[in-house]
Amino acid sequence: WGSLGHETVAYIASHYVETATKNWAQDILDDTSKDYLANVATWADSYRYTSAGKFSAPYHFIDAQDDPPNSCNVDYDRDCTGGKCVVAAIANYTTRVQSNSLSDTQVNYALRFIVHFLGDITQPLHDESYDLGGNDIDVTFNGDDTNLHASWDTSIPEQLIGGYSLSDAQDWANDLIKEIDSGSYESQKASWVSGLDINDAKDSAMAWATDANAFVCSVVAPNGWDGLENAELYPDYYNGVVDTVSLQIAKGGYRLAKWLDAIAAQAA
Ligand code: DCM
Ligand code: DCM
Ligand code: DCM
Ligand code: ZN
Ligand code: ZN
């Protein structure tokens, strides 16, 4: 996701976390503002372009070598090349954020990575290898040249919300919180966090990757990839996928709250 998606995930999580979790996270991040998670939600996307953070670039996705739209699936041994993928990263940083021996900076970075990667793993094209997760599929969105991956990351969310500022993210989060509490997501939110286990983070993250990857077959490219090449995505394609984008952002935020609650409780 782009900044709007990641910051919305963060605001949703901030709404649902326990007070003890908020205190734990604000202490690690050294930020007592209400925006303490949103303020670090896109840090990993800047860090990966620095020489110190270059190692983390493959941690934003898992390249599922499946065969959409005929067959969607994720296999850790097949797809997490060299142990460098978002599933391994979530497991790594879930351990590191609880460390008593790492520096404050490394623990702070671990929490920033968790906030970011629990967002990215819900973007279906971050759980797909085809054409570099859709980066090599050129499209136009409302007349602008872009690609399928970037459309999912940014164009579609920004078309829906009409901007990408922190206050746009807070507004989108508020809408999705209503859907989670008493709207279209109320009956499914329990399934989003079922089996969540910070002490088996790899299994939990594999379940999330598998869940998002299934949308590659059902929503991202249900009729295959050929028709998407050089296609205009607005409004027809957009209308067919935008509800899935909202669902995945809501899911990421709700999961992040429960994940952080579990870590903070174990740390206490
Ligand atoms: N990006 C964004 N908003 C835009 C255009 C680009 O947030 N309007 C950027 C932020 C990240 C990238 O998109 O650099 C998405 O990266 P990722 O999916 O790894 O989070
Ligand atoms: N690093 C990480 N996860 C690990 C090991 C290292 O994120 N399991 C990061 C921390 C540093 C960088 O890689 O930013 C280099 O670490 P080191 O100096 O321990 O090799
Ligand atoms: N990406 C992905 N799968 C890949 C390669 C990249 O999901 N196999 C993501 C990471 C960024 C976006 O695509 O969100 C653009 O990546 P880059 O800036 O590395 O081109
Ligand atoms: Zn992306
Ligand atoms: Zn990312």
pLDDT tens by residue, 178-213: 999 999 999 999 999 999 999 999 999 999 999 999
Any atom of ligand 2 within 6 Å of the Cβ of 55:
yes
Determine the distance separating the centroid of ligand 3 and the alpha carbon of 42, expressed in angstroms.
14
CA atoms within 13 A on the CB side of 169: 27
Q: Which of 79, 120, 127, 211 is catalytic?
A: 120
At residue 183, the pLDDT reads 98
Q: pTM for this one? A: 0.94
Is 45 one of the catalytic residues? yes
Determine the distance separating the centroid of ligand 4 and the alpha carbon of 132, expressed in angstroms.
10
* Ramachandran angles phi, psi of 69, nearest 5°: -90, 5
Residue to substitute in 101, 106, 111 for testing ligand 2 pocket (most ligand atoms within 8 angstroms of CB)? 106
Say if CB 219 and CB 240 are below 8 A apart. yes
Is 225 one of the catalytic residues? no
Distance of alpha carbon 87 from alpha carbon 216, whole angstroms: 18
At residue 169, the pLDDT reads 98
Q: Is 232 helix (H, G, I), strand (E, B) or coil?
A: strand
Position in ligand 2 atom list of the atom nearest CA 56: 7
Residue to substitute in 47, 92, 104, 116 for testing ligand 2 pocket (most ligand atoms within 8 angstroms of CB)? 92
Is 15 one of the catalytic residues? no
Q: Is 35 helix (H, G, I), strand (E, B) or coil?
A: coil
Distance of alpha carbon 34 from alpha carbon 14, whole angstroms: 8
DSSP string, the chain: --HHHHHHHHHHHHHHS-HHHHHHHHHHHT--STTTTGGGTTHHHHHTTSTTTGGGGGGG------BTTTB----HHHHSGGG-SHHHHHHHHHHHTT-SSS-HHHHHHHHHHHHHHHHHTTSGGGG--THHHHTT-EEEETTEEEEHHHIIIIIHHHHHHS--SHHHHHHHHHHHHHHHHHSTTTTTHHHHTTT--GGGHHHHHHHHHHHHHHHIIIIISTT-SGGGTT-B-TTHHHHHHHHHHHHHHHHHHHHHHHHHHHHHHHH-
Q: Largest Cα–Cα distance in the chain?
A: 53
Intervals of the chain under pLDDT 70: none
At residue 7, the pLDDT reads 98
At residue 201, the pLDDT reads 98
> Can the peptide bond before residue 222 be classed as cis, meaning omega within 30 degrees of 0?
no
Q: Which residue's CA is the closest to the ligand 3 atom numbered 7?
A: 126
Q: The complex's ipTM? A: 0.79
> Can the peptide bond before residue 157 be classed as cis, meaning omega within 30 degrees of 0?
no
